[in-house]
Structure 1
Amino acid sequence: MIKFFRHIRQRMLSENKFSKYLLYAIGEILLVVIGILIALQINNWKEEQAERREETAILHQLHTEFTSNLKQLDEKIEVKMDLIEAVKKLFQQIDHPSLRQKDSVDRLLGLTIPYSTFDPIVSDLASSGSLRLIRSDSLKLLLSLWTSDVISVQEDDLGWKKIRNELYTPFLIEHYQLRTIRQVAIESGLIKNYLIEAGNQQTEVLDESIGLSRHKADINVLLDHPNFEDLLERAISTNRFALSQSLILRKRILEIMALLEWELQINQHKNHQP
């Protein structure tokens, strides 16, 4: 083909048809340019298709991860809500001695001891460069803030853990019997609720009885102690704030999942276009 065009140019020059040669040369250049542009367009189209496939894969992965994160967060929220309700009922028994029942107090105490820390899957798309593949600016913004949002919630979760370990549990050890509290929790199945996988059948070790303490703990001594009331206030205040943060994060997760589902629908629609 190149020899063919060269032969035409040489024939025009030999026949002194310079004007025709010039027009032909310009046309040949245009054909080359058009060919290059078409090749670039095809290459760009292929790259765009590859990026959209990669984006779709990332969106699916993120949707799976945030579905798991939502499930875990809901479980942690339930732990906090149980603790808050238990403290409120203990306050009632503090304020109204006629309502006091040892079995009830033991169970409520068991609900105040756990702490919950949200430990989600965190995909750092920004550092990996994959964030650029996502076209939705709203989604990219929420994903870029996700890590810092999680850290904020975890810090609030650890607030109760510190109070529990350093103040609350030592107080119960000094003024009550943890063995009895634990045994009541075992008998009621309370401990199983805090497993990584709630409802897991492999819980024989948690079902083993440790028995009630032979040391008789007086619930009136505990409930009438002013420091116990103060510790319960710390428990409910700390967990209420942590719960509020967790509920805000839950709303963020739902927003992210809604945007993920919307982007996946858009990609699916485009992939099915003729």
Structure 2
Amino acid sequence: MIKFFRKIRQKMLAENKFGKYLTYAIGEIVLVVIGILIALQINNWNQERLNKKQEHQILSQLLKEYTSNLKQINQKIEIRKEMLNSCFRLLQYQNEKPESIDQDSLDAFLFRITIRPTFDPELSVSNELINSGKLYLIENTDLRNNVSSYSSFLSELNEEELAIFDLTEKQLIPFLRENYQIGRMMMVLLDDKELRAKITMGEVNNYDTMKNLVQKSDYKNLLSHPDFEDYLLQLISYTAYTNDQSTGVKEKTTTIIDLIRTELKK
């Protein structure tokens, strides 16, 4: 093809047809430019197709990631609700006659208030997108911004979870150990399959029941201790506020999931 055009140009020059040659040269340049533009457009189409395919794969992975995170945050919210209920029941026990209190229930409530649930999201896909600079492959700006800001959005929740952890680990559990036999309340947990599942503890099949391995202890001093009420009220305050923060994280997680599903339907 190049040789063909070259021969035409040479013939025109030989015949001294400069005007026609100039017109032809301009036409040839236009054809070359058009060819380049077509090639670029085809390349853009191919790249856009590849980007769309990659975006779809990324969105599918993100959907699994944030669906898992939503399930986890819901579990942590429910556990904290059980903690709050246990705190209120223990406060009520202070005004009840000792002989009317079921110690198995008491031990179950005591264990629940010592649980220290934390939200530990799976963010491997999100972090990889951010660190590799591939977040741009997500065309939806709202979704892109929500994914990029998700980790920083968790900071306040993490702080509140840490406050509960410190209160429980450094003050409440030592207090219970000093004023009560906490071994039995641990055994009550091992009998509670539903609760073990929520806090991802494995099965214990060595015994039909675990609570009978530990002797019952007197709980009267514990319930009448003034510090016990203070710990319960402080834990209620911390836990309620932490669940408020968790609800915000749940809403943001749900928003991301909805945006992903909308993009996948396109």
The two structures share one fold, judged by TM-score above 0.5: yes
1:179–1:212 contact (8 Å) kept in structure 2: no
* Equivalent residue runs for 1:67-216 within 5 Å: 67-97=67-97, 100-122=101-123, 123-124=126-127, 125-189=129-193, 191-196=195-200, 202-204=203-205, 209=210, 211-214=212-215
Amino acid of the structure 2 residue aligned with 1:138: D
Q: CA offsets per residue over residues 51-99 of structure 1, 9 Å max, x none?
A: 1111111000000111111111111111111001110111122244476
Question: Against the structure 1 CA distance between its residues 212 and 221, is the aligned structure 2 distance closer, same or farther, given a 3 Å change threshold?
Answer: farther
Amino acid of the structure 1 residue aligned with 2:118: T
2:189–2:196 contact (8 Å) kept in structure 1: no
Q: Aligned residues, how many?
A: 262
Q: Which residue of 2 aligns with 1:232?
A: 232
Q: Which residue of 1 aligns with 2:34?
A: 34
Secondary structure (helix, strand or coil) at the match of 1:204 reads coil
Question: Against the structure 1 CA distance between its residues 6 and 188, is the aligned structure 2 distance closer, same or farther, given a 3 Å change threshold?
Answer: closer
Question: Against the structure 1 CA distance between its residues 120 and 258, is the aligned structure 2 distance closer, same or farther, given a 3 Å change threshold?
Answer: same
> Distance in 2 between the 1:40 and 1:96 partners?
82
Question: Against the structure 1 CA distance between its residues 44 and 207, is the aligned structure 2 distance closer, same or farther, given a 3 Å change threshold?
Answer: farther
1:183–1:210 contact (8 Å) kept in structure 2: yes
TM-score calculated relative to the size of structure 2: 0.91
Amino acid of the structure 1 residue aligned with 2:152: S
Amino acid of the structure 2 residue aligned with 1:159: A
Q: CA offsets per residue over residues 111-156 of structure 1, 9 Å max, x none?
A: 1111111111112122221111111111011111111123332222
Question: Against the structure 1 CA distance between its residues 96 and 195, is the aligned structure 2 distance closer, same or farther, given a 3 Å change threshold?
Answer: closer
Aligned-residue RMSD, C-alpha: 2.0
The Cα shift of 1:207 comes to 6.7
Question: Against the structure 1 CA distance between its residues 235 and 212, is the aligned structure 2 distance closer, same or farther, given a 3 Å change threshold?
Answer: farther
The Cα shift of 1:102 comes to 2.9
Q: Which residue of 2 aligns with 1:64?
A: 64
TM-score calculated relative to the size of structure 1: 0.88
Higher alpha-carbon deviation: 84-93 or 53-62: 84-93
Q: CA offsets per residue over residues 30-70 of structure 1, 9 Å max, x none?
A: 00000000000001111111111111110000001111111
> Distance in 1 between the 2:117 and 2:207 partners?
18
Secondary structure (helix, strand or coil) at the match of 1:75 reads helix
> Distance in 1 between the 2:58 and 2:231 partners?
46
The Cα shift of 1:212 comes to 4.9
Secondary structure (helix, strand or coil) at the match of 1:138 reads helix
Higher alpha-carbon deviation: 152-161 or 96-105: 96-105
> Distance in 2 between the 1:2 and 1:16 partners?
21
The Cα shift of 1:191 comes to 4.9
Amino acid of the structure 1 residue aligned with 2:149: L
The Cα shift of 1:218 comes to 2.7
Percent identity reads 40
Q: Which residue of 2 aligns with 1:272?
A: none
Question: Against the structure 1 CA distance between its residues 207 and 263, is the aligned structure 2 distance closer, same or farther, given a 3 Å change threshold?
Answer: farther
Question: Against the structure 1 CA distance between its residues 29 and 221, is the aligned structure 2 distance closer, same or farther, given a 3 Å change threshold?
Answer: same
Unaligned runs of 5+ in 2: none
Amino acid of the structure 1 residue aligned with 2:34: I
1:186–1:207 contact (8 Å) kept in structure 2: no
